[in-house]
A and B are shown apart, each in its own frame.
Chain A
Amino acid sequence: MDIRTLTFKGGTHPPHSKKATEKLQIEKANAPKVVAIPMQQHIGAPCEAIVAVGDEVKVGQKIGEPKGFVSAPIHSSVSGKVVAVEPRLYSGGSKVTCVVIESNMQDTIHESVIPKGKLEDLSADEIKTIIKEAGIVGMGGAAFPTHVKLAPPPGKQLDTVVLNGAECEPYLTADHRLMLEKPDDVVKGLSALMKALSVKKGYIGIETNKPDAIEAVFNAAKGVDGIEVVALKAKYPQGAEKQLINACTGREVPSGGLPADIGVVVSNVGTAAAIANAINTGMPLVERIVTITGKGVKEPKNLLVKIGTSFKEVIDQCGGFNGKPGKVIGGGPMMGIAQFSVDVPVIKGTSGILVLSEEEARLPKASNCIRCGKCVGVCPMNLMPMHLSANALADRFEQAETLHAMDCIECGSCSFVCPAKRPLVDSIRVAKREILEKRKKQQSK
């Protein structure tokens, strides 16, 4: 294998903690009896439920219609009967309208689900339509609607697609297993994205702590024109969009800009596989791979879970909690969202369910900043987190803005490394929100 090993400047090395699940094959999760499918699983406008209580639905049937361009349709993951359409708590931390469906356990597939033919026969526009109609969003966690990325503002010349297979979040192995078990889907998805954008160059970046995945994807991509598999140094946040682009292409997304500004579109390997699946089978995005792991679960697993299945049900299939759980996280430990309850559904962006023991979850006590500068050294955006944080904590948001608070990608490297356990990224988040509020107010004036 002749591949390059690349990286970015800065970053940190949290323990990988992937041993528990990296060797475990993806299993199909038990069919859920009831699913609660949120009408907002993505960044952007929510969907409107187009089914009502009492309606019969089938697998792959559209049940949520997007209300705006930056949005993605939502489909049923089971066949059965709609029993409720009501606001419920979801893994984003708030309540959103959910379509609750009682499964008839038949998994009858909806008539609209038909294979879309060969990739060679599809035009760019047809591919875009397939992606949009399949409700495909970024599966790395942020869940940004993929079709929006495929429609860059006029004047932006795109030349590269980068697939994110870094999976730099500790604990998570969903992408790792996917690349190992379905490398052809990953490569096909990338080819589809490249074709849809008329782009000639594609990268698949994978961290060096997954040599087997690198090999599998490398072999799958052999002979496919324009696709280069690159090894990325195992370092957090290697999979952050801007850092990934920088590692692969050497380009820097300008401050406040988008990858499209420098001709790049980034997508996750899971997203690419979902695109391949939508083309191969016609099935929209109704299930995803979830890594259920952490000291707090008895038998960690990689499960293929239907969207809308509750965290509780998924955790139960992994032997349930191991002792009293301290914290339940949707996603990884660096950027995931802590949950109030396990009665929340798995959504398109749920890459993992991480259960920390009470001891691991105990919040460290913050002490004085000793100005050691470790946060400055690890910040992948070259910011000075402790200055930003000090200003944010003193309500000096304008100062924080001049120190480039808005460039913070909230990766959490600074908080992770801080010996004084200061809430660095937490306070910078507050500053960012305040700055955005202010900008909104100024715009509306």
Chain B
Amino acid sequence: MENTNYIVSSSPHIRSGESTNLIMRDVIIALIPALISGIYFFGFKALTVTALAIITCIATEMAMQKLLGREVTVKDLSAAVTGMLLAFNMPASAPWWMVIIGSIFAIAIVKQLFGGLGHNFINPALAARAVLLASWPVRMTTWPVPGMADAATGATPLAILKEGINYVNGLPVAAGGEMAGQALPNIWNLFIGNVGGCIGETSVLALAIGGAYLLYRGVINIRIPAIYILTVGILAFVFGKFDINYFIYHVCAGGLFLGAIFMATDYSTSPMTVKGQIVMGIGCGLLTFVIRFWGGYPEGVSYSILLMNVATPLIDRFTMPRKFGEVKKSA
């Protein structure tokens, strides 16, 4: 037993099997049901948009890391997740160049220029979506009608909902605005995702399956998504004069499930403390509801999450857990 060179390091000497790569892989797996539903309802174009976003994000990450002299870490799959989320926030009819611009913006500007993984202060995919929406509002809100590829444009349930709900022969229709009298999609179609909208946001069912997987794997905590969704639902119910349809349509329509499960829970841009996560959920829900009910846009999920992202450092700071054995300073 000669005196070999043992590895000497500070404890602990064992590490858990968790890794960044595994977490990102789990997120990708969780997004697959929504991708399948997107392809099913919006056609092959949904797949090409998603693939293009993923490839552009990965390529941008590699290029930026080489340029900035950083280690290339695309193997951690975080760029792929950003690409997937960005695509899910775009209509399937989005032109290829918009996908590329959005992907480059997300990775180059929002992620890498701020220090890379974990250092971005807002969600890259959502920031890119906001830029695209501000730059090409028409293209970003032209929704292919499910099953008709990109031939026609359809209104999203939220656009129909915007001025409230009326009833014609007992069926819910738009109460006012340009779409007055247009029928709301039936609840089953809304639930499975057979309505107009972005690639990955329409199917509540598919997103919930993905969310359940992430919860099971311990990747996310139920706090932010549950509180976010319930806050929107309850506010809509109350301000909709206790009409249960307001609850159902506001919860199931638009990007609420996608945002609450996959975007508001983004590690880098959401609070780490228990109390902070509760604040995040309520804050996102409140802002989303305010934008939807009284704002200029039919949908408010992205902007709400972006605003709460910016507030996250502050929230973390004010919700620090009480230290074990901390003695209350008595005056």
Binding site for B on A (CB under 8 A): 12, 14-15, 170, 242, 246, 252-255, 257, 312, 315-316, 320-321, 324-329, 333-343, 354, 356, 360-364, 367-374, 376, 380-384, 386, 404, 407, 410, 412, 415-421, 423, 425-426, 429
Contacts and interface: CB of A to CB of B under 8 A. Distances in A.
Contacts of B73: 367-368
B13 A14 contact: no
A327 B7 contact: yes
Given A326-B6, A335-B11, A372 B267 contact: yes
Nearest to B271: A373
- The B interface is mostly helix, strand or loop, or mixed, namely loop
Nearest to A380: B324
A255 B325 contact: yes
B117 A368 contact: yes
B160 to A, nearest CB: 38
B55 interface: no
26 contacts: A14-B16, A242-B324, A242-B325, A254-B326, A255-B323, A324-B4, A327-B9, A327-B13, A338-B8, A339-B6, A341-B3, A354-B13, A361-B7, A368-B116, A368-B118, A370-B23, A371-B272, A372-B23, A372-B267, A374-B18, A376-B272, A381-B323, A384-B272, A416-B15, A418-B15, A419-B16
Nearest to A369: B118
Interface in B10-29: 10-16, 18-20, 22-23
Contacts of A356: 13
Contacts of A384: 272-273, 320-321
- The A interface is mostly helix, strand or loop, or mixed, namely loop
Nearest to A367: B20
Interface in B130-162: none
Nearest to A327: B7
A74 B6 CA distance: 30
B15 A321 contact: no
A255 B326 contact: yes
B287 to A, nearest CB: 22
A343 B8 CA distance: 15
Interface of B: 1, 3-4, 6-16, 18-20, 22-23, 73, 76, 78, 115-119, 267-268, 272-273, 320-327
A327 B323 contact: no
A340 B20 contact: no
Given A334-B11, A334-B14, A321 B6 contact: no
Contacts of B116: 368
Contact of B7 (A337, A363, A373, A404): A363
A266 B190 CA distance: 61
Contacts of B320: 384
A417 B1 contact: no
B22 A407 contact: no
B14 A170 contact: yes
Given A257-B325, A335-B12, A412-B12, 13 more contacts: A255-B325, A316-B1, A327-B7, A335-B11, A338-B9, A338-B11, A340-B8, A343-B3, A369-B118, A372-B23, A380-B324, A384-B320, A412-B11
